Structure 1
Amino acid sequence: MRGGAAYDEIADWYANEFLGAQAASGDPLEIKSTLRRLLGPGDGRCLEIGCGTGVYAAPVSALGRTPFGVDLSAGMLRYAAGRLPIARADAGRLPFRDGSFPAVVAVMVHTDMPDYPTVLGEVARVLAPGGVLVHIGVHPCFCGGFADRADPEGVVIRPGYLDRGWTTESWTDQGIRDKVGANHGPLPELLHGFLDAGLVPDRFAEGGAPTPTMLAVRAHKPG
């Protein structure tokens, strides 16, 4: 997972200004509603990869599950500490035994990770047989430095969707990516990561209008 120090530097802004603005606008990207729908009710521990400030612990708990978060940023974990049990850890080298979680969620974090396929491999390792992963992230087709979203009624797609790698290019200076950067890859690359990890996708969702900003995948570990 990249960006521990970078997120340390923006943790206060992220927790107070960025998340405050998001809360005031409701759930326009349908992130929380999609998380509830795809994860569903259950029990046992649910590991959140890149939990940040822990804002998704509440919807996980409301489903009857016990959230547990990991993140690299000590600054972000300062805010998460009051919301869920936490550990400072790299998602590419999770400090947990094989098959120790019935559920894992990764919410709006895959672009913070230069090697998300390795993270998915670790998720598959720590998932119990039959366990479920819910991935919710920015939509690779419509979000990135190539996608100009300045007009709320439409997205201008410029060359760059097929580019791979880390960038701080962004259409706005009011968001996160111009501050800490983001990793981008085209859609097939993301989906292949699930398959290569041995995870079986079974549901998909998009969120945000009029052009989706969010893409979600639910996958399970065969058992």
Structure 2
Amino acid sequence: MEPAENVSESWEENAEDWIAWTRAPDNDVFYRHFQQPAFARLVPRPGRRTVEIGCGEGRVGRWLAGRGHSVAGIDSSPTLVQSARAAGGYDELICGDAAHLPWEDGSFDAAVAFMVLHDMPVMPQAIRELARVLECGSPLCIAIVHPINRPPEQLADYFTEHRISDEVAQNGLRMNFVGINRPFEDYARELCEAGFVIEALHEPRPDPAAIEAAPALAAATRSPFFLHLRCRLFGQR
């Protein structure tokens, strides 16, 4: 399947498949045994209010709420927002565009963008909007596909954006992952220009217990699959 002209539209097209993929017991072992435990080391303690952009069907928001966060979420897919609302955990959920957040300046003291910035054609605007709705000094925690986690033919042209469409079958389920590969410099530039300072950068690797639980994770000990960042807002330069 070719990606839709708008990557966000593709996630709405694949929303039911994503809900089935992420909620099937122990299907997404990369999230359960690897990504979530690694990302937890970056996420701050609960504060006044946390915003999550690209909240999808809500698994990260539910996890944050379980840790005591008051979470507002936004996603462009009506189907995913409806599913997240039905599952609970959020104090507020909006179907909308991360490039035009509906909240007032300084409404939040933490933000999360988990595995979504590489799905957004409007990544720079989304980062600027996060800077606007965060109060100064607030953290932004990010997870993305590692920029070198690409097919060899795309690494040969690393500095050019590549729209990707990767259909995966597993445990009787199918999911078409659609997004945009970008060099890391693009993310760093937009974060810095929006007033963020990168204070932590992790290339997580699964530990032996994770590999024992899910042997497929072993490949991530040799080559980075994901990149995790914690940034802090200090105001635009």
- In 2, distance between residues paired with 1:147 and 1:110? 22
Instruction: Single out whichever of 206-215 and 118-127 deviates more from structure 2.
Output: 206-215
- In 1, distance between residues paired with 2:35 and 2:224? 11
Aligned-partner residue type, residue 37 of structure 1: R
| Structure 1 segment 168-187 matched on structure 2, within 5 A | 168=165, 170=166, 173-174=168-169, 179=176, 181-187=178-184
Equivalent residue for 2:164?
A: 167
Instruction: Answer yes or no: is the 8 Å Cα contact 1:200–1:221 preserved in 2.
Output: yes
Q: 2:225 aligned to 208, 213, 218, which one? A: 213
Measured after TM superposition, the shift of residue 7 of structure 1 is: 2.0
User: Structure 1 length normalisation: TM-score?
Assistant: 0.83
Shift of the 13–26 alpha-carbon distance from structure 1 to 2, 3 Å rule, reads same
Instruction: Answer yes or no: is the 8 Å Cα contact 1:29–1:214 preserved in 2.
Output: no
Shift of the 72–60 alpha-carbon distance from structure 1 to 2, 3 Å rule, reads same
| Structure 1 segment 132-211 matched on structure 2, within 5 A | 132-142=139-149, 144=150, 146-147=151-152, 158-168=155-165, 170=166, 173-174=168-169, 179=176, 181-208=178-205, 209-210=220-221, 211=223
User: Structure 2 length normalisation: TM-score?
Assistant: 0.78
1:9 is the counterpart of 2:13: yes
Q: 1:50 aligned to 43, 51, 54, which one? A: 54
Aligned-partner residue type, residue 183 of structure 2: P
Equivalent residue for 1:152?
A: none
Measured after TM superposition, the shift of residue 23 of structure 1 is: 4.6
Cα-to-partner distance string for 1:79-124 (whole Å, 9 max, x where unaligned): 1103223101100111111111001100001111112121111111
Which structure 2 segments of 5+ residues have no match?
1-5, 206-219
Equivalent residue for 2:113?
A: 106
Equivalent residue for 2:35?
A: 31
If each structure's helix is expressed as a fraction of its own residues, which one has the higher value? Answer: 2
Measured after TM superposition, the shift of residue 12 of structure 1 is: 1.5
Shift of the 79–67 alpha-carbon distance from structure 1 to 2, 3 Å rule, reads same
SS at match of 2:169: coil
Instruction: Answer yes or no: is the 8 Å Cα contact 2:7–2:121 preserved in 1.
Output: no
Count of equivalent residues: 208
Equivalent residue for 2:211?
A: none
Which structure 1 segments of 5+ residues have no match?
149-156
- In 2, distance between residues paired with 1:52 and 1:147? 29
Cα-to-partner distance string for 1:33-72 (whole Å, 9 max, x where unaligned): 2332111212221110000000001321233211111000
CA-based RMSD: 2.4
- In 1, distance between residues paired with 2:137 and 2:109? 8
- In 2, distance between residues paired with 1:181 and 1:99? 32
Instruction: Single out whichever of 211-220 and 14-23 deviates more from structure 2.
Output: 14-23
Aligned-partner residue type, residue 84 of structure 2: A
Q: Percent identity?
A: 26
- In 2, distance between residues paired with 1:133 and 1:49? 11
Instruction: Single out whichever of 110-119 and 16-25 deviates more from structure 2.
Output: 16-25
Measured after TM superposition, the shift of residue 141 of structure 1 is: 1.5
Cα-to-partner distance string for 1:114-147 (whole Å, 9 max, x where unaligned): 12121111111110111110011111112x3x25
- In 2, distance between residues paired with 1:38 and 1:72? 25
Equivalent residue for 2:3?
A: none
